[in-house]
Amino acid sequence: MLEMTDAIKWYDSSFELNIPSLKIQRGESVGLVGNNGAGKTTLFSLILDLIPVTNGEILSKQVSVFQSDHWKNYTGAYLDERFLIDFLTPEEYYEFIGKTHGIENPELEEFYKHYASFFNEEILGKKKFIRDLSKGNQKKVGLAATFLANPEILILDEPFPNLDPTTVIRLKSVLIGLNREKGVTLFISSHDLKHVTDVCERIVILEEGRMVRDIKTDSETLKELEGYFAVA
């Protein structure tokens, strides 16, 4: 589904990221962990063609993300608030996203009903611009938008901070459901080791722009990660 080969990103004559090989199969759920500056957001930005790769190849469904925009039709992503259009209301924002994917109002209404518990009566019908919502509710707007077009791949950078405990629990349930019931491929970064091991069946550790571990999640993974970062 996703493949990086000899992917290198340089900034000002120093490397930010160096990934010789990373493959994510269709339907996998992969967590990306690492300390600040490890290169997690850079890696996602390369996959989403937000920044150019210095060297190497990044493929989505065996097609270069730099040479074709087709991957945008089946990829949902939220990295930060820059993905929002904050002078719109949430409904206007979803209508805009819907139009880019050919989604009509009846489908939007079904989307609102399906994710009603996730919105928790805090997002819709408030007649507020996105910029006037709390940081947590802004994030909820952006995260829910990634579900709208029924993506095959979902890429989320630090989705859990700023969310209240109830929303975190509901988000984890949504993500697990999308992966296990609909076969959505997940690639999620998080500083919260518990959350990412709850959701993802595989964990990749980045350190100073390099992959240092790639492990399958089991009952001991959280303890293993905590031990690794305790001495990092």
Q: Over pLDDT 70: what percentage of the chain?
A: 99
Superfamily of domain 1-74+151-232: P-loop containing nucleotide triphosphate hydrolases (3.40.50.300)
- pLDDT at residue 15 is higher than 80: no
pLDDT(10) > 90: no
User: Do 204 and 33 meet the contact criterion of CB atoms below 8 Å apart?
Assistant: yes
Mean pLDDT score of the chain, rounded to an integer? 94
- Helix and strand numbers (H, E) in the chain are 8, 10
pLDDT tens readout for residues 63-118: 999 998 899 999 999 999 989 999 999 999 999 999 989 998 899 999 999 999 99
Residue 14 has pLDDT above 80, yes or no: no
Claim: this prediction has a pTM higher than 0.85: yes
State the pLDDT at residue 90: 96
Contact 152, 74 (CB under 8 A): yes
| Domain ranges for the chain | 1-74+151-232, 79-149
pLDDT tens for each residue of 136-184: 999 999 999 999 989 999 999 999 999 999 999 999 999 999 999 999 9
Radius of gyration of the chain (CA): 18
